[in-house]
């Protein structure tokens, strides 16, 4: 359970966070449905839902998909606002805005890393997303999804290698 969203108004306006959260949750639901609840798809969906809930803690679509997956129920396929290719490009464009040419805050840089990682995995043919994802992995190490996916009681046990250096 997310007690407080990691990314708030200091990073992105509420309406925009809601839109990204809803579209991320829809993508996660469709991913699991398309892959037949394969282990890798479930792990990716868990990460994406966690990101969604950290953008908007009470996002309806994210809460529904999260509940369904916890109950072992296959989410229904839903039509999202974007196809995967377009959504990947949108996430990349927003990540670039968050980075602000290196001038973004730590939270903005962290959200940009999550967006870039998700964009690369949504569309592995998006060469810009894959290049940025791999560049950040080389420069900063693997992205720590535990910041989003572990319970609040386990937070002290996660590593801190996901925070990009200023």
To the nearest whole number, what is the mean pLDDT of the chain?
87
CB atoms within 10 A of CB 126: 21
Please write the tens of the pLDDT for every residue from 99-129: 987 777 899 999 999 999 999 999 999 999 9
Distance of CA 51 to the CA centre of its chain: 4
Quickly state the pLDDT bin for 1 (edges 50, 70, 90): low
pLDDT above 70: residue 153: no
Tokens 């509940």 — which residue?
67
Instruction: Report residue 159 as tokens.
Output: 């590593």
Q: What is the pLDDT of residues 44-90, one digit of tens each?
A: 999 999 999 999 999 999 999 999 999 999 998 888 899 999 999 99
């Amino acid at each position: 359970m997310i007690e407080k969203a990691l990314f708030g108004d200091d990073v992105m306006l509420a309406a925009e966070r809601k839109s990204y959260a809803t579209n991320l949750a829809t993508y996660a639901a469709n991913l699991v449905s398309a892959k037949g609840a394969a282990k890798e798809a479930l792990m990716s969906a868990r990460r994406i839902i966690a990101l969604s809930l950290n953008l908007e803690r009470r996002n309806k679509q994210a809460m529904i998909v999260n509940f369904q997956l916890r109950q072992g129920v296959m989410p229904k396929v839903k039509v999202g606002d974007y196809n995967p290719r377009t959504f990947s490009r949108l996430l990349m464009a927003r990540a670039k805005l968050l980075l602000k040419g290196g001038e973004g805050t730590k939270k903005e840089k962290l959200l940009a890393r999550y967006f870039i990682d998700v964009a690369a995995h949504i569309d592995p043919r998006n060469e810009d997303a894959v290049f940025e994802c791999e560049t950040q992995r080389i420069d900063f190490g693997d992205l720590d999804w535990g910041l989003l996916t572990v319970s609040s009681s386990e937070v002290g046990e996660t590593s801190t290698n996901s925070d990009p250096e200023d």
